[in-house]
Amino acid sequence: MIETFYEVMRRQGITRRSFLKYCSLTAAAMGLGPAFAPKIANAMETKPRIPVLWLHGLECTCCSESFIRSAHPLVKDVILSMISLDYDDLIMASAGHEAEAIIDETIEKHSGNFILACEGNPGLDEGKTGGMSCIIGGKPYTEQLRKTAKHAKAIISWGSCASWGCVQAARPNPTRATPIHKVPDLGNAPIIKVPGCPPIAEVMTGVITYMLTFDRLPSLDRQGRPLMFYSQRIHDKCYRRPHFDAGQFVEKWDDEAARRGYCLYKVGCKGPTTYNACSAIRWNGGLSFPIQAGHPCIGCSEDDFWDKGGFYDRLTSIDAFGVESNADKVGGTAAAIVGGAAALHAAGSVIKRVRQNGNGVSQKGDQES
């Protein structure tokens, strides 16, 4: 049986007296009457912590690396008191059949009541690799994913791998790595995308905390990302934004403007096209983020960011006819050709007119038959 919140609090040394005080205070803080204190206490005593199955597909575990560095809330509080992290093959103590049995047990006991956290994505290639590009416990990861997804209450797609596909899905994508929401036959559980390579630690714990506290999904945008973290661009909250508006830019990596901390727009910052909370929440407990460290944003939380040209190009490269180019080169060339053609045509028109007049053609001209 999964522990309730009350049991966890008792285990951590909180007396029943303190617990009841806490419930009364919570009711008062929420503006509820005294009658609600016992209701809150009852909920805390009877509501089990939400079981979480944390699966790993094709990925680099950078999401987990980020997650365990969460400072607000501390990741130990999330794992030890808020959720019941029943399965996470990266950090769990048990291994082998013992570990895999937990999945079946969770499905059996908590079907429809657990959260499925997906880190990484499955390779769907059934051809050359026979779906064997990612094996968990002797079986394709796809099987584990499908089996658990059908019983999950909700699915969280951690990171750019699960959300968009990321590097293993970049061209030519040999394993047909596919983001979670595009995997066929997954059931109907709602999918929350938390993109980033990796996502910010506090965003990850924040999403989980929200779901536990309010017992519902955070509101999502059209692409399935929580609005509270992904509704604004890096650019919108960037502390270097005043330099952008002033027209003060770093031109080269080692110039005076770089030392002065001017805007990195001209050296390819993708902040204006990247939806994430880096410039608001920052990293490592709010210490810094790439732009603060003097490096442009590479847009790691955006769909398909590996295949959008260089990390230092704000415009997508256009690879037509094998020529590497960008919108300005293509457009500039087209404009030059059109302009040149117009000039040549003008010259031709002048010649035609001179010749017609030279041939004694009157203003009326001969009727064309």
Partner 1 sequence: MSTKAAEAISAEAQPAIYVYEAPLRIWHWVNALSLVVLMVTGYLIAHPLPSMPGEASENFLMGYIRFAHFAAAYIFVVGFVFRIYWAFMGNGHARQLFLPPVWSRDWWGGVWHEVKWYAFLTREPRKYTGHNPLATLFMHFMLLWGTVFMIVTGLALYGEGAQAGHWTHDWFTSWVIPLFGQSQAVHTFHNLGMWYLLCFVIIHVYVAIREDIMSRQSLISTMVSGWRMFKDDRPVDDGR
Question: Alpha carbon of 336 to those of 10, 20, 369: distances in Å?
Answer: 76, 78, 37
Least separation in angstroms between CB 163 and partner 1: 12
Q: Of residues 120, 123, 131, 299, which one binds partner 1 by CB under 8 A?
A: 299
Least separation in angstroms between CB 314 and partner 1: 7
What number of other Cβ atoms are within 10 A of residue 327's Cβ? 11
232/276 Cα distance (integer angstroms)? 7
Q: Of residues 10, 146, 181, 266, which one binds partner 1 by CB under 8 A?
A: 266
- Residue written as tokens 């796809």? 142
List the interface residues with partner 1, window 196-215 (CB under 8 A): none
List the interface residues with partner 1, window 214-253 (CB under 8 A): 221-223, 227, 231-233, 236, 242-249, 251
Closer by beta carbon to partner 1, 38 or else 339: 339
270/86 Cα distance (integer angstroms)? 38
3-state secondary structure at position 311: coil
- The site for partner 1, by CB under 8 A, has a size of 61
Regarding 173 and contact with partner 1 (CB under 8 A), the answer is no
Q: Of residues 39, 76, 109, 352, which one binds partner 1 by CB under 8 A?
A: 352
Regarding 81 and contact with partner 1 (CB under 8 A), the answer is no
Least separation in angstroms between CB 182 and partner 1: 13
Cα angle 20, 22, 27 (rounded to 5 degrees) comes to 100
User: Under a CB-based contact definition with an 8 Å cutoff, are residues 172 and 307 in contact?
Assistant: no
266/253 Cα distance (integer angstroms)? 10
User: Under a CB-based contact definition with an 8 Å cutoff, are residues 111 and 150 in contact?
Assistant: no
Residue 78: how many CA atoms within 13 Å on its side-chain side?
Answer: 22
Q: Of residues 48, 218, 272, 294, which one binds partner 1 by CB under 8 A?
A: 272
User: Under a CB-based contact definition with an 8 Å cutoff, are residues 144 and 180 in contact?
Assistant: no
Closer by beta carbon to partner 1, 56 or else 270: 270
3-state secondary structure at position 193: strand
Look up residue 133 and give its two tokens: 């590009």
Contact mark string toward partner 1, 136..155, x via CB under 8 A: --------------------
Closer by beta carbon to partner 1, 3 or else 303: 303
Closer by beta carbon to partner 1, 17 or else 364: 364
Contact mark string toward partner 1, 325..344, x via CB under 8 A: -xxx-xxx-xx--xx--x--
SS3 content of the chain, % helix, strand, coil (to 5): 45, 15, 40
User: Tell me, what DSSP letter sits at residue 368?
Assistant: P
Regarding 365 and contact with partner 1 (CB under 8 A), the answer is yes
Least separation in angstroms between CB 53 and partner 1: 29
Residues making contact with partner 1 (CB under 8 A): 221-223, 227, 231-233, 236, 242-249, 251, 257, 262, 265-266, 270, 272-275, 299, 302-305, 308, 314-316, 318, 326-328, 330-332, 334-335, 338-339, 342, 345-346, 348-349, 352-353, 356, 361, 363-368
